[in-house]
Structure 1
């Protein structure tokens, strides 16, 4: 039987408040950008006093960097599908599934990241030059190993990754456009499954993999 101590309860409450603030910030940054967002607006969306927001995140930049770091971490976790995969069907297929689910569940985070990069990554260039570069090199090596083993066509792994990112993140970054073309309605469960299946088939068949 697990008994929560007062410290456990305090920590849980702190994590809950942080998540409320981060979800609100993600939404505000996605809609207003860094320049248009204010700590007061984020506090209003979170339903908390502004002082509470400053207690957890001293500055707007601290909060912004945490929002960007969170979506980046979620994307990196999704890429774990590559690590133990025996081949491109399992690795790339699972990666596409994961990236599509993230676009579905974290559209605002994806929009914040896209806006940050399009503006030259003024706050997150360190992520790009370190973590992203290291992660990308690891995934490129895995894809190249599959190419060398004859499990897929000889394609440039870098451009393949770029294509996967562009396709999957489109469903978050251009969500309004997709919904508009869907009769003004968000994609339903069956439509998301169809999208994932179609994207996997097109990409995997495009690199010479039977699916």
Structure 2
């Protein structure tokens, strides 16, 4: 909140939260281009003019969502500890990312849709905080490789592979569930498979 700006009332806070929650549903389902302010307003239970009181445009809502979720989305990578056991740290990161795909599929699809469009509304975040964080954690993983604690492996592509192999289960949920069938727990099976895959990959 900027200097001189009044704090939001309880009703304003409630409406802002309702708008962002509705927008997350709409954007994750239809993407930015396929979503409209009318859809978001209807899902939030507000009129379009009322919605525009809080956010001046569809883009402003989208940016607010991405910015607000960035801290949560990056938390598992921040938690990777240079002083921890290398394989435990990497496997823990993989598990946390898979759990986020289970618990936060809309958020995963929101980020995926933005990146697929060239990140026009969030390139600064990728070039800034995300790149800085990945560079720092890649350096840690590279040091572990050089010390012989894990296999010699490109740290950036290791991180990319964890992203793709865990977020797949959120972004392509319908495809996964349709192919596996209703009686199988895709996330439990994925965790077992990915633990085997990465544990073997990381052996020096």
TM-score bracket for this pair, using the shorter chain length? 0.7 to 0.9
SS at match of 1:79: helix
Tell me, which stretches of 5 or more residues in structure 1 are unaligned? 1-6
1:198 is aligned to 193
Deviation at 1:177, TM superposition (A): 0.4
**Normalising by the residue count of structure 2, what TM-score does the alignment of the two structures yield?**
0.86
What is the SS of the residue equivalent to 2:80?
helix
* Mapped pair 1:102 → 2:100: yes
Structure 1 segments, 4+ long, off by >6 Å, are none
Aligned length: 199
- In 2, distance between residues paired with 1:66 and 1:9? 16
Tell me which residue corresponds to 1:4.
Answer: none
Where does structure 2 lack aligned partners over 5 or more consecutive residues?
A: 1-5
Superposed CA deviations along residues 130-157 of structure 1, whole A, max 9, x for unmatched, are: 1111011011011112112211011110
Q: CA RMSD in A?
A: 2.4
1:121 to 107, 116, 119: 119
Aligned to 1:82, the other structure's residue is in SS state coil
Structure 2 distance, partners of 1:85, 1:192, is: 29
> Given the two structures, how large is their TM-score scaled by the length of structure 1?
0.84
Please give the alpha-carbon distance, in whole angstroms, between the structure 1 residues aligned to 2:177 and 2:69: 22
Greater displacement, 25-34 / 50-59: 50-59
In the TM superposition, what whole-angstrom CA distance separates every residue of 1:105-146 from its partner, at most 9, and x where no partner exists? 221221121121112111111111111110110110111121
Partner of 1:39: 37
Q: Distance in 1 between matches of 2:176 and 2:67?
A: 26
Of residues 8, 22, 25, the one that matches 2:23 is 25
